[in-house]
Amino acid sequence: MSLTKLAVNRLMSERKQLSKCSSPLIKANLESENLEKLDVTLLGPEDSLYKGKKFQLRFTFPSNYPLENPMVIFLQPNHIYSNGHICLSVIYKQHWTPAMTIESICLSIISMLASATQIERPPNDSSYVSRAPSDPRSSNWIFEDDKC
């Protein structure tokens, strides 16, 4: 797969912005020249159950990004779906907008972590994982903030 010119330009711009990111909770690995994938480390927010914890995300960008949403998964899922899938509406087609950026997605995930009231897998983890496609963008999510 090769990225469109729009995708390359957008990703180069976003990588530049990430290098200047003011949030101490987001650290992108910008050393790789592969624009199709990006690993990002998030730190658990202060005043949350995840304070001081590190979370690894992997972004995989489609050829026509930002017109199509990226695939975003946790690489070390220890509290979310055991396959790394993330139930967060803004990263899926139904709610995706090209105005979203890598940084805004990271901030949304940090917000999700900050609002957690307990550290545990979703109650339907085993049933979801047993039937889930490898690409979470193909899942039929029902977004209910208190149930994902």
Q: Which helix (H) or strand (E) holds 70?
A: none
Which CATH number characterizes residue 95's domain?
Answer: 3.10.110.10
- The reply to whether 107 falls in a domain is yes
Which structural domain, as residue segments, surrounds residue 36? 5-138
Q: Which amino acid is at 45?
A: P
Q: What are phi and psi of 82, to 5 degrees?
A: -65, -10
**Is 21 annotated as catalytic?**
no
- The reply to whether 62 falls in a domain is yes
Rounded Cα distance, 126 and 112, in Å: 21
Q: Is 57 exposed, middle or buried, given 0-12, 13-18 or 19+ CB atoms closer than 10 A? A: buried
Count the alpha carbons within 13 Å of 62 in the hemisphere toward its beta carbon. Answer: 15
- The reply to whether 146 falls in a domain is no
Cβ atoms of residues 40 and 105 within 8 Å: no
- The reply to whether 112 falls in a domain is yes
How do beta strands 54-60 and 71-74 pair?
A: antiparallel
- The reply to whether 24 falls in a domain is yes
How many residues does the structure list for the chain?
A: 148
Q: How many domains would you assign to the chain?
A: 1
Cβ atoms of residues 58 and 77 within 8 Å: no
C-alpha angle 30-114-103 in degrees, rounded to nearest 5: 25
3-state secondary structure 72-86: EEECCCCCCCCCCCC
The catalytic residue among 21, 87, 106, 148 is 87
- The reply to whether 98 falls in a domain is yes
Q: Which helix (H) or strand (E) holds 51?
A: none
Q: pLDDT 10s per residue in the chain (148 long)?
A: 799 999 999 999 999 999 999 899 999 999 999 999 999 999 999 999 999 999 999 999 999 999 999 999 999 866 689 999 998 989 999 899 999 999 999 999 999 999 988 888 888 899 999 999 999 999 888 776 544 4
Question: What's the pTM value of the predicted model, to 2 decimals?
Answer: 0.89
- The reply to whether 22 falls in a domain is yes
- The reply to whether 145 falls in a domain is no
